[in-house]
Structure 1
Amino acid sequence: MTENPATRLAVGDTAPAFTLQDQDGRPVSLRDYAGKHVIVYFYPAASTPGCTTQACDFRDSLASLSAAGYVVLGISPDPIGKIIRFAEKESLTFPLLSDEDHAVAAAYGAWGEKKNYGRVYEGLIRSTIVVAPDGTVELAQYNVKATGHVERLRRALGV
Protein backbone atom coordinates (compact mmCIF):
# COMPACT_ATOMS: atom_id res chain seq x y z
CA MET A 1 0.00 0.00 0.00
CA THR A 2 1.17 3.48 -0.74
CA GLU A 3 1.66 5.74 2.21
CA ASN A 4 -0.44 8.89 2.13
CA PRO A 5 0.93 10.89 5.08
CA ALA A 6 -0.56 14.24 4.00
CA THR A 7 -4.07 13.02 4.84
CA ARG A 8 -3.21 11.01 7.93
CA LEU A 9 -4.16 12.18 11.39
CA ALA A 10 -1.45 12.60 14.00
CA VAL A 11 -1.46 12.67 17.78
CA GLY A 12 -2.83 16.03 18.95
CA ASP A 13 -4.93 16.71 15.83
CA THR A 14 -8.61 17.42 16.32
CA ALA A 15 -10.62 14.34 15.38
CA PRO A 16 -13.04 15.12 12.54
CA ALA A 17 -16.70 15.23 13.58
CA PHE A 18 -19.08 12.71 12.02
CA THR A 19 -22.58 11.30 12.21
CA LEU A 20 -23.30 7.92 10.61
CA GLN A 21 -26.05 5.30 10.88
CA ASP A 22 -25.41 2.21 13.00
CA GLN A 23 -26.70 -1.35 12.64
CA ASP A 24 -29.77 -0.47 14.74
CA GLY A 25 -30.76 2.41 12.45
CA ARG A 26 -29.65 5.08 14.90
CA PRO A 27 -27.50 8.06 14.00
CA VAL A 28 -24.22 7.92 15.93
CA SER A 29 -22.01 11.00 16.25
CA LEU A 30 -18.53 11.34 17.64
CA ARG A 31 -19.90 14.15 19.82
CA ASP A 32 -22.21 11.58 21.50
CA TYR A 33 -19.07 10.36 23.27
CA ALA A 34 -17.60 13.72 24.29
CA GLY A 35 -15.54 13.29 27.46
CA LYS A 36 -14.78 9.63 26.73
CA HIS A 37 -11.97 7.75 25.03
CA VAL A 38 -13.25 6.51 21.67
CA ILE A 39 -11.61 3.81 19.57
CA VAL A 40 -12.65 4.42 15.97
CA TYR A 41 -11.57 1.55 13.78
CA PHE A 42 -11.99 1.38 10.02
CA TYR A 43 -12.41 -2.02 8.38
CA PRO A 44 -12.70 -2.73 4.64
CA ALA A 45 -15.63 -5.18 4.37
CA ALA A 46 -18.02 -6.89 6.75
CA SER A 47 -18.00 -10.69 6.86
CA THR A 48 -14.57 -11.11 5.29
CA PRO A 49 -12.06 -13.22 7.24
CA GLY A 50 -9.80 -10.39 8.47
CA CYS A 51 -12.64 -8.05 9.32
CA THR A 52 -14.51 -10.81 11.16
CA THR A 53 -11.40 -11.67 13.18
CA GLN A 54 -10.86 -8.03 14.10
CA ALA A 55 -14.52 -7.36 14.98
CA CYS A 56 -14.75 -10.49 17.12
CA ASP A 57 -11.52 -9.52 18.90
CA PHE A 58 -13.05 -6.13 19.73
CA ARG A 59 -16.27 -7.88 20.84
CA ASP A 60 -14.31 -10.24 23.10
CA SER A 61 -12.28 -7.35 24.58
CA LEU A 62 -15.22 -4.99 24.97
CA ALA A 63 -15.72 -5.57 28.71
CA SER A 64 -12.11 -4.76 29.59
CA LEU A 65 -11.99 -1.81 27.19
CA SER A 66 -15.25 -0.45 28.63
CA ALA A 67 -13.99 -0.92 32.19
CA ALA A 68 -10.94 1.16 31.23
CA GLY A 69 -13.21 3.92 29.87
CA TYR A 70 -13.01 3.16 26.13
CA VAL A 71 -15.89 3.07 23.65
CA VAL A 72 -15.49 1.16 20.35
CA LEU A 73 -16.95 2.27 17.01
CA GLY A 74 -16.38 0.27 13.82
CA ILE A 75 -16.73 2.04 10.46
CA SER A 76 -16.82 0.50 6.97
CA PRO A 77 -17.96 1.52 3.51
CA ASP A 78 -20.52 -1.30 3.55
CA PRO A 79 -24.22 -0.54 3.07
CA ILE A 80 -26.28 -0.71 6.26
CA GLY A 81 -27.93 -4.04 5.30
CA LYS A 82 -24.58 -5.80 5.14
CA ILE A 83 -23.56 -4.28 8.48
CA ILE A 84 -26.80 -5.44 10.09
CA ARG A 85 -26.22 -9.04 8.92
CA PHE A 86 -22.58 -8.92 10.08
CA ALA A 87 -23.50 -7.62 13.54
CA GLU A 88 -26.23 -10.24 13.97
CA LYS A 89 -24.15 -13.17 12.70
CA GLU A 90 -21.14 -12.33 14.89
CA SER A 91 -23.10 -11.04 17.94
CA LEU A 92 -21.37 -7.66 17.76
CA THR A 93 -22.71 -5.41 20.49
CA PHE A 94 -20.82 -2.19 19.75
CA PRO A 95 -21.87 0.31 17.06
CA LEU A 96 -20.92 -0.54 13.48
CA LEU A 97 -21.35 2.47 11.22
CA SER A 98 -22.00 2.70 7.49
CA ASP A 99 -19.77 5.17 5.60
CA GLU A 100 -20.88 4.30 2.05
CA ASP A 101 -19.49 7.47 0.47
CA HIS A 102 -16.27 6.98 2.51
CA ALA A 103 -16.26 10.66 3.50
CA VAL A 104 -15.49 9.88 7.14
CA ALA A 105 -12.77 7.40 6.20
CA ALA A 106 -11.21 10.06 3.95
CA ALA A 107 -11.37 12.67 6.73
CA TYR A 108 -9.54 10.25 9.03
CA GLY A 109 -6.91 9.32 6.42
CA ALA A 110 -8.30 5.79 6.15
CA TRP A 111 -9.28 6.04 2.47
CA GLY A 112 -6.63 6.13 -0.21
CA GLU A 113 -4.50 4.38 -2.74
CA LYS A 114 -3.91 0.69 -2.22
CA LYS A 115 -2.01 -1.97 -4.13
CA ASN A 116 -3.03 -5.60 -4.29
CA TYR A 117 -1.36 -8.13 -6.59
CA GLY A 118 0.00 -5.30 -8.74
CA ARG A 119 -3.36 -3.59 -9.09
CA VAL A 120 -3.61 0.00 -7.83
CA TYR A 121 -6.99 1.24 -6.63
CA GLU A 122 -8.70 3.48 -4.09
CA GLY A 123 -10.00 1.75 -1.00
CA LEU A 124 -10.28 1.59 2.74
CA ILE A 125 -7.01 1.35 4.63
CA ARG A 126 -7.46 -0.70 7.81
CA SER A 127 -6.84 1.93 10.49
CA THR A 128 -7.52 2.67 14.14
CA ILE A 129 -7.76 6.14 15.65
CA VAL A 130 -8.17 6.64 19.38
CA VAL A 131 -9.88 9.90 20.25
CA ALA A 132 -9.15 11.41 23.66
CA PRO A 133 -11.91 12.83 25.88
CA ASP A 134 -11.03 16.35 24.67
CA GLY A 135 -11.67 15.38 21.02
CA THR A 136 -8.04 15.18 19.96
CA VAL A 137 -6.25 12.20 18.47
CA GLU A 138 -4.58 10.15 21.20
CA LEU A 139 -3.26 7.39 18.91
CA ALA A 140 -3.33 6.89 15.12
CA GLN A 141 -2.47 3.57 13.50
CA TYR A 142 -2.66 2.93 9.75
CA ASN A 143 -2.25 -0.22 7.66
CA VAL A 144 -2.82 -2.40 10.71
CA LYS A 145 -2.98 -6.17 10.46
CA ALA A 146 -6.35 -7.55 11.55
CA THR A 147 -5.02 -10.60 13.38
CA GLY A 148 -3.71 -9.61 16.79
CA HIS A 149 -4.53 -5.93 16.29
CA VAL A 150 -6.80 -5.57 19.32
CA GLU A 151 -4.22 -7.17 21.63
CA ARG A 152 -1.49 -4.85 20.27
CA LEU A 153 -3.84 -1.88 20.68
CA ARG A 154 -4.65 -2.85 24.26
CA ARG A 155 -0.93 -3.03 25.05
CA ALA A 156 -0.38 0.39 23.47
CA LEU A 157 -3.21 1.82 25.58
CA GLY A 158 -2.14 0.00 28.75
CA VAL A 159 -5.53 -1.75 29.03
Structure 2
Amino acid sequence: MTATLRVYHRAYTPISKPLNEIVAAARTLDTTGKVDACTFTEWPTTVALDSDCEPVRLYETLTDWAESEPVDPTTPFRIHTRTNPVTDTEQAILHTPVVYLTLERDGDLAGVAPCTLPDGTHVTARDFLDAIQDGDDPLDDRSIDAIPA
Protein backbone atom coordinates (compact mmCIF):
# COMPACT_ATOMS: atom_id res chain seq x y z
CA MET A 1 0.00 0.00 0.00
CA THR A 2 1.46 3.36 -1.02
CA ALA A 3 0.79 6.57 0.86
CA THR A 4 1.15 9.95 -0.80
CA LEU A 5 1.02 13.18 1.17
CA ARG A 6 0.09 16.25 -0.86
CA VAL A 7 0.75 19.72 0.55
CA TYR A 8 -1.10 22.59 -1.11
CA HIS A 9 -0.14 26.11 -0.13
CA ARG A 10 -0.90 29.58 -1.35
CA ALA A 11 1.45 31.23 -3.77
CA TYR A 12 2.57 34.76 -3.07
CA THR A 13 1.93 34.44 0.67
CA PRO A 14 4.72 35.70 2.88
CA ILE A 15 6.52 32.67 4.24
CA SER A 16 5.68 32.27 7.88
CA LYS A 17 7.07 30.13 10.64
CA PRO A 18 3.91 27.94 10.84
CA LEU A 19 3.99 27.29 7.09
CA ASN A 20 7.72 26.53 7.23
CA GLU A 21 7.05 24.06 10.06
CA ILE A 22 4.31 22.30 8.07
CA VAL A 23 6.59 22.00 5.03
CA ALA A 24 9.48 20.73 7.17
CA ALA A 25 7.24 18.18 8.94
CA ALA A 26 5.90 16.92 5.60
CA ARG A 27 9.43 16.56 4.22
CA THR A 28 10.43 14.64 7.37
CA LEU A 29 7.55 12.20 6.85
CA ASP A 30 8.83 11.63 3.32
CA THR A 31 12.50 11.19 4.23
CA THR A 32 11.75 8.89 7.19
CA GLY A 33 9.47 6.67 5.11
CA LYS A 34 6.26 7.45 7.01
CA VAL A 35 4.79 8.25 3.58
CA ASP A 36 5.97 6.93 0.24
CA ALA A 37 5.84 10.27 -1.53
CA CYS A 38 5.24 13.91 -0.73
CA THR A 39 4.32 16.62 -3.23
CA PHE A 40 4.08 20.39 -2.85
CA THR A 41 1.75 22.51 -4.96
CA GLU A 42 1.29 26.26 -4.91
CA TRP A 43 -2.18 27.57 -5.60
CA PRO A 44 -3.79 31.00 -5.89
CA THR A 45 -5.64 32.76 -3.09
CA THR A 46 -8.87 32.87 -5.08
CA VAL A 47 -10.18 31.23 -8.22
CA ALA A 48 -13.50 31.22 -10.05
CA LEU A 49 -15.44 28.14 -9.00
CA ASP A 50 -16.46 27.47 -12.59
CA SER A 51 -12.87 27.32 -13.87
CA ASP A 52 -10.98 24.13 -14.69
CA CYS A 53 -7.96 24.31 -12.38
CA GLU A 54 -6.37 22.28 -9.62
CA PRO A 55 -7.95 24.11 -6.64
CA VAL A 56 -11.44 23.64 -8.10
CA ARG A 57 -10.80 20.00 -9.02
CA LEU A 58 -9.52 19.32 -5.49
CA TYR A 59 -12.50 21.11 -3.92
CA GLU A 60 -14.88 19.00 -6.03
CA THR A 61 -13.01 15.82 -5.04
CA LEU A 62 -13.28 16.82 -1.39
CA THR A 63 -17.00 17.50 -1.54
CA ASP A 64 -17.57 14.15 -3.30
CA TRP A 65 -15.41 12.36 -0.70
CA ALA A 66 -17.33 14.03 2.14
CA GLU A 67 -20.56 12.42 0.96
CA SER A 68 -19.28 9.04 2.20
CA GLU A 69 -16.99 10.15 5.03
CA PRO A 70 -17.96 11.58 8.43
CA VAL A 71 -15.57 14.50 8.02
CA ASP A 72 -16.06 18.06 6.74
CA PRO A 73 -12.99 18.57 4.53
CA THR A 74 -14.11 21.98 3.26
CA THR A 75 -13.81 23.81 6.60
CA PRO A 76 -10.89 26.08 5.57
CA PHE A 77 -12.33 26.93 2.14
CA ARG A 78 -14.67 29.86 1.60
CA ILE A 79 -16.99 30.60 -1.30
CA HIS A 80 -18.54 33.95 -2.02
CA THR A 81 -20.36 35.43 -4.97
CA ARG A 82 -19.21 38.56 -6.69
CA THR A 83 -20.89 40.61 -9.35
CA ASN A 84 -18.87 41.74 -12.31
CA PRO A 85 -19.44 45.51 -12.52
CA VAL A 86 -19.04 45.53 -16.30
CA THR A 87 -21.24 42.55 -17.27
CA ASP A 88 -23.45 42.54 -14.16
CA THR A 89 -23.13 38.74 -13.98
CA GLU A 90 -22.55 36.83 -10.76
CA GLN A 91 -19.64 34.48 -10.30
CA ALA A 92 -18.80 32.12 -7.43
CA ILE A 93 -15.27 32.61 -6.08
CA LEU A 94 -13.39 29.93 -4.13
CA HIS A 95 -10.92 31.12 -1.48
CA THR A 96 -8.19 28.56 -0.84
CA PRO A 97 -6.63 27.94 2.57
CA VAL A 98 -3.05 29.02 3.22
CA VAL A 99 -2.12 25.35 3.62
CA TYR A 100 -4.09 22.15 2.98
CA LEU A 101 -3.03 18.52 3.22
CA THR A 102 -4.36 15.38 1.59
CA LEU A 103 -3.29 11.82 2.25
CA GLU A 104 -3.88 9.24 -0.44
CA ARG A 105 -3.65 5.49 -0.05
CA ASP A 106 -3.11 3.67 -3.35
CA GLY A 107 -4.45 6.72 -5.19
CA ASP A 108 -7.63 7.06 -3.11
CA LEU A 109 -8.24 9.96 -0.76
CA ALA A 110 -7.83 8.72 2.82
CA GLY A 111 -7.57 11.86 4.92
CA VAL A 112 -7.37 15.64 4.80
CA ALA A 113 -6.48 18.58 7.02
CA PRO A 114 -7.58 21.00 8.19
CA CYS A 115 -11.00 19.44 8.62
CA THR A 116 -13.81 19.15 11.12
CA LEU A 117 -14.88 15.84 12.64
CA PRO A 118 -18.54 14.99 13.30
CA ASP A 119 -18.24 15.95 16.98
CA GLY A 120 -17.08 19.44 15.96
CA THR A 121 -13.41 18.82 16.68
CA HIS A 122 -11.14 20.73 14.34
CA VAL A 123 -8.09 18.80 13.07
CA THR A 124 -5.26 21.16 12.13
CA ALA A 125 -2.58 20.48 9.54
CA ARG A 126 -0.02 20.19 12.36
CA ASP A 127 -2.21 17.69 14.29
CA PHE A 128 -2.59 15.66 11.10
CA LEU A 129 1.15 15.52 10.40
CA ASP A 130 2.01 14.76 14.03
CA ALA A 131 -0.42 11.83 14.04
CA ILE A 132 1.11 10.38 10.87
CA GLN A 133 4.59 10.81 12.37
CA ASP A 134 3.48 8.95 15.52
CA GLY A 135 1.83 6.20 13.49
CA ASP A 136 -1.60 7.23 14.80
CA ASP A 137 -4.88 7.89 13.07
CA PRO A 138 -4.73 11.56 11.97
CA LEU A 139 -8.51 11.81 12.24
CA ASP A 140 -8.36 10.19 15.70
CA ASP A 141 -10.89 7.57 16.68
CA ARG A 142 -13.58 10.07 17.65
CA SER A 143 -15.43 8.84 14.58
CA ILE A 144 -16.32 5.20 14.04
CA ASP A 145 -15.38 5.54 10.38
CA ALA A 146 -12.19 7.55 10.87
CA ILE A 147 -9.59 6.55 8.33
CA PRO A 148 -6.20 5.36 9.57
CA ALA A 149 -3.17 6.92 7.98
TM-score, normalised to structure 1's length?
A: 0.44
Which of these two proteins has the greater Rg computed from alpha carbons? 2
| Structure with more contact order per residue of length (Cα contacts < 8 Å, sep ≥ 6) | 1
